[in-house]
Amino acid sequence: MANAPQQVAELKQIKKEFSGEGVFEFLGPKPSDATDANPTRLKIKRDLPVPMTVAVSMPVGYPASASPIFKVEGSLEEAYVEAIEELLTTQASYMPGMECICTVLQSLDDLDLSTLDLGEPGRCRDIFKVEVVNNSPQFSKSLKQAANGRPCMWFFRTIQCQNNAKFSFAVNPLRAVFVICDSPDKKSASEFMKGIRTDSDMDCDMLGKPGKIQMTLLEDFEMAPKAQALPDGFSGSEYRTDEDLAVEMAPFMAAVGAIKLKK
């Protein structure tokens, strides 16, 4: 491996720099035996800014074409763990092509935990689908009332029904409506969904009488502290294709925005 000599030299430097008893732990494999799936790894125990262990992986492309990967272990809250890992990764990004592990780890010496950006822990997101909306003005009004100031976005497709007797009482009907709403906490999210499920004036039936909606809850999750929030306010927009919808919704789905579960 072309980077093996540099990695060996840096490992010696790291061991020298963090020479206290039990501070440095080499996990292997040797740089010459490392692969993409099994990179060289080590651990450093630290007392500052709080007791923790930082696990470091040296990708086979490091330092020439890849950065080291840092994972924080300890009794810290998850929000602090993520913030410290982000800090270390950012520090490494400032030194592309350089042997930087020692310097990055030393950046923790003067770290004040109170200065870390922890994002907004505790937020929750609900995403649901309504197959058909018969009266979109009524639906929009009711959805906005249910959101009650929470950030809320919805995406829809229109129904052309000029000659369709099935929609003779419909007012600007919609289909395949997807709604996303952010709440500051679980209690608020529960209140929002309860309002959606129980509002008997959410839409109108085929005869134009007020009625509930038939909805399917797609995702309901606690958001990662730094997950992208919905824009403030209430907005609805039409999409043309499923592909367009996927692009619009992708940044807000659980796969991207949900809090990571501890293993």
Cα distance between residue 157 and residue 151, in whole Å: 21
**213-250 per-position pLDDT tens digit:** 889 999 999 998 889 999 999 999 999 999 999 999 99
| CATH no., domain 4-115 | 3.10.110.10
67, pLDDT greater than 90? yes
Residues 6+ apart with CB under 8 A from 79: 118, 119, 121, 225
**Are 133 and 177 in contact, with CB atoms under 8 Å apart?**
yes
* Average pLDDT of the segment spanning 88-94: 95
Q: What average pLDDT does range 90-109 have in this prediction?
A: 94
CATH 3.10.110.10 residue window(s) in the chain: 4-115
Given a cut of 70, whether residue 136 has pLDDT beyond it is yes
* Residue 143: per-residue pLDDT: 96
Residues of the chain with CATH 3.30.70: 124-257
pLDDT in tens, 180-219: 999 999 999 999 999 999 988 888 766 667 878 889 999 9
Q: pLDDT tens for residues 8-38?
A: 999 999 999 998 888 999 999 999 999 999 9
Please state whether the predicted TM-score (pTM) of the whole model is above 0.75: no
Average pLDDT, the chain: 91
Element (H or E) spanning 27, and its range?
strand 24-28
Assigned CATH for 124-257 = 3.30.70
pLDDT at 208: 67
* pLDDT top residue among 158 and 211: 158
